[in-house]
């Protein structure tokens, strides 16, 4: 209840900021005029408002989750954060190919930390960086060399390297690509302790890996299920 109340206040506040901004700028915002009929979108990240533009080629929604984000819009309008207007940094909503990554996302390998550690050691052993590996896989992804059935993003078939996605969807995409990086890797390239493990029958869908540390470590979970309902 309290949170609901707070979120209402923040909507009011950001709406008010927008109105103040428009007054200051004389209702003119880089060639676009708001009027009482202008539909506004609320950014999912900062809670700020932006006018909904349909005749504009700057994306205002993340294709992966359909939520509104203002980073690309205000960047295109050359407007940045100020004291009286809530605006996201451009970094939070930009094309997949322009993003960089330095850490394996928390979501990777169904949040199994042992598998994340193995992936990290694999990459290091190959003398590469996470960024190198992801850049390669984004090329393969863009060339449609990867089966997208399990890709956890909306409109998966429409996503390309130039699609704008939010931070959360980018982490999901990287996690999806790291799955393919691992399943296509020959066993002899894995660190020895990882190569000697047997595949868990339930593969990535195994639930035991989430509450049994020993099992999570002793079996490989970056593989397709051969039992259970996810085959």
Binding site for Zn ion (CB under 5 A): 34, 43, 45-46, 48, 51, 62, 64-65, 70, 88, 166, 169, 200, 206, 208-209
* CB nearer to Zn ion: pick between 31 and 127: 31
DSSP output for 128-139: --HHHHHHHHHH
Spatial distance between the Cα atoms of 9 and 47, rounded to a whole number of angstroms: 11
Spatial distance between the Cα atoms of 81 and 52, rounded to a whole number of angstroms: 19
Q: What angle do CA 38, 39, 43 make, to 5 degrees?
A: 130
Q: What share of the chain is helix, strand, coil (3-state, %, to 5)?
A: 45, 10, 45
* CB nearer to Zn ion: pick between 59 and 178: 59
CB of 219 to Zn ion, least distance (A): 5
CB of 23 to Zn ion, least distance (A): 11
Spatial distance between the Cα atoms of 231 and 227, rounded to a whole number of angstroms: 6
CB of 69 to Zn ion, least distance (A): 6
**E strand or H helix that includes residue 63:** none
Spatial distance between the Cα atoms of 228 and 160, rounded to a whole number of angstroms: 33
CB of 32 to Zn ion, least distance (A): 9
CB of 78 to Zn ion, least distance (A): 16
Residues 6 or more apart in contact with residue 139 via CB below 8 angstroms: 161
* CB nearer to Zn ion: pick between 50 and 134: 50
CB of 38 to Zn ion, least distance (A): 5
* CB nearer to Zn ion: pick between 45 and 190: 45
Instruction: Provide the token pair at 62.
Output: 């993340």
* CB nearer to Zn ion: pick between 44 and 123: 44
* CB nearer to Zn ion: pick between 88 and 104: 88
């Amino acid at each position: 209840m309290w949170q609901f109340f707070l979120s209402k206040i923040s909507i009011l506040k950001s709406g008010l900021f927008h109105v103040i901004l428009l007054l200051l700028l004389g209702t003119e915002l880089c060639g676009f005029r708001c009027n009482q009929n202008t539909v506004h979108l609320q950014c999912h990240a900062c809670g700020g408002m932006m006018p909904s533009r349909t005749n504009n080629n700057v994306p205002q929604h993340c294709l992966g989750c359909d939520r509104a984000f203002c980073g690309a819009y205000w960047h295109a309008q050359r407007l940045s954060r100020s004291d009286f207007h809530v605006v996201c940094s451009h970094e939070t909503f930009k094309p997949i190919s322009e993003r960089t990554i330095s850490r394996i996302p928390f979501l990777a390998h169904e949040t199994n930390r042992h598998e994340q550690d193995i992936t990290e050691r694999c990459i290091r052993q190959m003398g590469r960086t996470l960024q190198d590996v992801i850049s390669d896989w984004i090329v393969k992804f863009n060339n449609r060399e990867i089966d997208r059935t399990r890709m956890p993003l909306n409109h998966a078939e429409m996503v390309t390297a130039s699609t704008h996605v939010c931070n959360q969807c980018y982490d999901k995409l990287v996690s999806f690509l790291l799955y393919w990086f691992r399943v296509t890797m020959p066993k002899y390239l894995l660190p020895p302790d990882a190569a000697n493990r047997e595949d868990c029958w339930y593969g990535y869908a195994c639930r035991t890996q989430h509450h049994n540390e020993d099992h999570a470590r002793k079996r490989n979970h970056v593989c397709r299920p051969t039992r259970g309902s996810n085959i």
